[in-house]
Amino acid sequence: MMISLISCVTYAELIEVFTTSAYSVALNGLQAEVCALDALNEMTLELNRNASEIRAVQRVDTVQNGRLTAFYRCQMRARLYALSSLPAIVIDKRYVTYGVRAADKALIASRHYKGAHHD
């Protein structure tokens, strides 16, 4: 069965994807904020690979601070949503779809749920 976004409303104020490197999620053309909840591990590995380079130290201040801030914001939002498993796709801060690995399918599911529950 093929699901088409053309047949339903595709507007969402905000799509947030919470995942780890073990669970890839396809955005399929949708705008979404992706929160890799294991990003700190990758940042640490990256820094360790380049530890001997002076540039790596300089890069910590410029690039890594932004990445760390984004990582901790993602962690906080995941806690606020009380997510119980990953991947989790949050639509408009109201609907959470667990285990779906495509943002467009999560959006369709949220629209079907909203239509069935008239909220």
Q: For 23-82, how does the pLDDT look when each residue is reduced to its tens digit (9 = 90+)?
A: 999 999 999 999 999 999 988 887 777 666 666 666 667 777 888 899 999 999 999 999
In the β-sheet with 88-91, what is the strand arrangement from edge to edge? 33-36, 15-19, 88-91, 95-98
What is d(CA 11, CA 22) in angstroms, rounded to the nearest whole number?
28
Is 90 exceeded by the pLDDT of residue 14?
yes
Is 70 exceeded by the pLDDT of residue 18?
yes
Other C-beta atoms closer than 10 Å to the C-beta of 41 total 12
* pLDDT mean over 76-95: 96
What is d(CA 109, CA 2) in angstroms, rounded to the nearest whole number?
14
How is the chain split into domains, by residue range? 21-114
